[in-house]
Structure 1
């Protein structure tokens, strides 16, 4: 029986803004979240990842809520001659609690390797940041039936620089590369669930822990219920459907409602 069936699901629900929003927009979004009814974020782990210049402002506005704020990338060194880079201590100083690492856009456009991702994961944990590590199969790997192998390779790599005892500070996001961005095709919920189960088993073999795995890739209000209903999907990492605060709040409500409806089954 799946480990997901033994405990109450507290879904992770988050969004990364990529390179979008200026300061006033970021502050307005955060203020709208902060003004949401008090129970909006209960029984969920909600997070937002603004662009670097606005992390401090967003974190300050959301300080009275349970919404976590994080960065979209970081360097593996603490300081030094790394022009344009952001360190773990800098993120912490801005109020970040977590950091996204290894997004497919970083891997594709900025040549990030599995080895670089592993170093960043270790650095994030060293500085008390939750590491939200993105992994995913390309369209070519998916078409060739190589999804499982690609995910195992990336999962093993991301754990390679951290001791098993630190693995509780890692969350994985399965984001099929073919599902991300405008025109992306969302993964079928059952397929995504199978990949989550595989990722969890690989992680369990490595560190002996049940590592949360979120699904990301063209998540929206239309498919969020079907995705979160799958037992191995621990949460959703949302893109453009959450870039307007109303859209984000609608998905949060839908996800929480779906989890509540299914909780008796999941808690067996």
Structure 2
């Protein structure tokens, strides 16, 4: 049985002091049977790790480089994240692809590096509004998945979380209907089944992301193939995030 996973992507928000205060409110209000992750800015990772130590709350980073060290000014390596005690890392978020030129090849390298160092990747895929209106959303997502998982062996797949985030629904207030989200996520599961096998696809956890809020989380989580949510804005408000993880 797949354990639901709710992850908050704080993006470029919260100072260290603000981050500590936020996790203080979250960590004592966690629901059993749901894996809860906070993906905080690099500057707050160490202090948040100290604050959540001994709790069920897991720590995530928002990005990483695939190399362990080197002349990559401004980047963070998997060794640095592992030393802090990071459990998860978001890889290939649409904002990284759009604003910083991340390619499917870079996403693939990052996934392999994260797995090598015992960090579970949260791999983001999703189409633009133009691609959906052109009825090529499945082709776009399939290409992203196949390139992301190139060279990934079956034994590693269940350590990966996939986040389907239609780009047109991120931070816009628009949300794919629960049926639209479940259809694509079921399609992603089928891609994994075809590349590996049924047993593997049954184990991989696939989240939905895109304007997830307390008033739509129950409908989303009641779908057959959706195992969780990657949450943006609502994860910055403790009362909202607590409601989300208590769906």
Q: State the TM-score, normalizing by the size of structure 2.
A: 0.95
Pick one of 10, 34, 37 that aligns with 1:44: 34
Pick one of 55, 64, 78 that aligns with 1:74: 64
SS at match of 1:107: helix
Runs of 4+ in 1 over 4 A off after TM superposition: none
1:236 aligns with 2:226: no
- Gapped regions of structure 1 (runs ≥ 5): 1-6, 256-268
> 2:78, 2:113 within 8 Å by CA — same for their partners in 1?
yes
Q: How many angstroms apart in 2 are the aligned matches of 1:163 and 1:136?
A: 23
Aligned to 1:121: 111
Q: How many angstroms apart in 2 are the aligned matches of 1:33 and 1:215?
A: 21
1:155-180 alpha-carbon deviations (Å, 9 max, x no partner):
10111132222112111000000000
SS at match of 1:41: coil
Aligned to 1:159: 149
The total of aligned residue pairs comes to 243
Q: How many angstroms apart in 2 are the aligned matches of 1:35 and 1:195?
A: 34
Pick one of 125, 128, 143 that aligns with 1:135: 125
Q: State the shift of 1:35 in Å.
A: 3.1
Spell out the pairing of 1:49-198 with structure 2 (5 A cutoff).
Answer: 49-181=39-171, 183-198=172-187
Q: State the TM-score, normalizing by the size of structure 1.
A: 0.88
Pick one of 31, 53, 68 that aligns with 2:24: 31
1:110-156 alpha-carbon deviations (Å, 9 max, x no partner):
01000100000000000000010000011111000011101100110
Alpha-carbon RMSD: 1.1
